[in-house]
Amino acid sequence: MSTDFDLDRPWRVDPRVSVRPEPFGALLYHFGTRRLSFLKNQRVLAVVRSLADHPSARAACAAAGVTEAELPAYTRALHALAQSSMISERTVV
Amino acid sequence: MTLTSDLALGSGKPPGGDPARTASAAPGRLTDLFQLGLDAPICLTWELTYACNLSCVHCLSSSGRRDPRELSTAECKQVIDTLERMQVFYVNIGGGEPTVRPDFWELVDYATAHHVGVKFSTNGVKITPDVAARLAASDYVDVQISLDGATAAVNDAVRGPGSYDTALRAMASLHHAGFRGFKLSVVMTRHNIPQLDAFKAIADRYGAQLRLTRLRPSGRGADVWHELHPTVDQQRSLYDWLVAHGEQVLTGDSFFHLSAYGSALPGLNLCGAGRVVCLIDPVGDVYACPFAIHESFLAGSVRDQGGFQAVWRDSPLFASLRAPDTGGACRSCGSYDSCRGGCMAAKFFTGLPLDGPDPECVRGHGEAALAAVDASAAPRPSVDHSHRTVPVTIGRRRPPERGCDESPLAGFAVP
């Protein structure tokens, strides 16, 4: 899988997606594609939930305490979520 | 396409309805978590009424007549409020024929307005062109048309005269209204497995997605299962067909017992009963799964204190279903990791022990087990709403057979 996810762009959870916390992380359901995704820990959930509050995905990761060493794994996760339309780039006003 | 990374898994189809395609992406791990249960079901089946215009011979809820204790509109809305609070993403609404409830569309609108998506199963009787246009306009409603034969002869033998035409008319309306990707849902039997390609062609013709599910010996299905369930050779050809069609065809995870043939089919490949799915029946009773309407699998009622949420979280029955499997008699079998012992309801209603092989075990252990049990001693469904006679033809009134059929006081004389 390619990892051409732009960490420096602003992102958000797609408005048609419902995010439900679970003990293992979270479940995401997209009402448009009727598809399900899973977040496998609490920190990636924190990143995803706060995407819309930060100027970039990188800032959201930093605020959630993701270290430089961990960043590639989080980038891959965000890339997978973007490919399945769970998150999308937001247009900055 | 299944995407995976260390922290997120994507692009799965949800279970119950249609399982997440993640088992191959993350062997074991998520399945293990699901096995222990979730804070809320991913989706659940909600039979809104036992009333039905048809009398399908294999009806898993033995539907026909409305139950007078059916949940009221207000009670249904309370259930939806609970599902919204629990963030249940969507409900699979069925019956009976759910669209014959006078408040059906009101409840669908209420659910979608409260962020609970709806997929409903119907024989198509109420899917007029107007209704189809409304349905096509919503992202939050999906429709599943039931058809059990690719020809009228095969279908109507199971679902009743005229039901093939009704289903095809409904599909034509949905297609014409621009509804893409609605589901064409087929229960696989000995008579329709030779029609797999024909079903696919029908689905393609109407822009629908094919969904194949397993015939269970549940409800009235218990009476016909021995004649209608696929032969051993048919099971194998079904498995090969499913493998060849991959994610194009949905199965609601119903054929995970066939995974013992080789590679796993798409899906979670586990029994989701009480773990990721459950059933709410028309009177509000909560069962572990839609195929297990029997007091042994009754977890509680949405009418109990605490409602559905308390049943899901605190029911001792669900707690026991979420306990790790021991494997029982199947433990020593090399296929156990693939098939997980198969379907609980299929075992129960054929009289087999729950910790042994599925009656359709692909290794043949089910056949041997079936031969050893007394079929007449198998548990019977606890609830039966079957029509007592053939369904009434509206507009043509049959003459009373005796005076008392017309008036309860006929022939009554005051002494």
Q: Which residue of A has its CA nearest to B10?
A: A37
Q: Does residue B318 sit in helix, strand or coil?
A: helix
Residue A57 within a domain: yes
Is A37 within the bounds of a domain?
yes
CB contact under 8 A, B10 and A44: no
Question: Which of B2, B7, B13, B312 to mutate to test binding with chain A, by most A CBs within 10 Å of its CB?
Answer: B7
Number of folded domains that form chain A: 1
Q: Which of residues 47-86 of A touch B (CB under 8 A)?
A: 73-74, 76-81, 83-84, 86
Q: pTM for this structure? A: 0.86
The number of C-beta contacts closer than 8 angstroms across A and B is: 96
Residue B212 backbone dihedrals phi, psi, to 5 degrees: -110, 130
B355 and B336 Cβ atoms separated by less than 8 Å = no
Measured CA to CA in angstroms, residue B292 lies from B68, B223, B281 at distances of 22, 15, 11
Q: Is A3 on the interface with B (CB under 8 A)?
A: no
A1 within some domain = no
Chain B hits for A79, Cβ within 8 Å:
5
| Domain ranges, residue A48 | 11-89
Low-confidence ranges of chain B (pLDDT < 50): 1-5, 11, 15-28, 392, 399-415
pLDDT value for B207: 97
Residue A21: DSSP 8-state = E
Tokens of B391: 């369904």
Please report the pLDDT score of residue B325 as a whole number.
76
Answer whether residue A28 is part of any domain.
yes
Per-residue pLDDT tens digits for B25-40: 333 456 666 767 788 9
Low-confidence ranges of chain A (pLDDT < 50): 1
* pLDDT number for residue B25: 31
Closest CA to A79 of B10, B221, B162: B10
Q: What is the pLDDT of residue B415?
A: 44
Alpha helices in A11-53 (DSSP H): 42-50
- Which amino acid is it at B156? D
Which of B2, B5, B141 should be substituted to probe chain A, the one whose Cβ sees the most A Cβ atoms within 10 Å? Answer: B5
Query: pLDDT value at position B269?
Result: 76
Residue at A4 is within a domain: no
Is position A6 within any domain? Answer: no
Residue A45 lies inside a defined structural domain of this protein: yes
CA distance B115 to B320: 30
Using DSSP, state whether B124 is helix, strand or coil.
coil
Neighbours of B244 (CB within 10 A): 10
Helices B73-85 & B104-113 angle (0-180, nearest 10):
20
Task: Express each pLDDT in B312-346 by its tens digit.
Answer: 999 999 999 988 877 788 988 989 988 889 999 99
Residues 6+ apart with CB under 8 A from A19: A13, A26, A27, A28, A45, A48, A49
Question: ipTM score of the complex?
Answer: 0.83
Q: Which of A1, A20, A41 sits opposite B3 (nearest CB)?
A: A1
Q: Hey, CA dihedral for B87, B90, B96, B98, is it positive or negative? A: positive
Q: What is the CATH number of the domain that holds A54?
A: 3.90.930
Of B3, B39, B115, the CB nearest to A80: B3
- pLDDT the model gives residue B203: 98
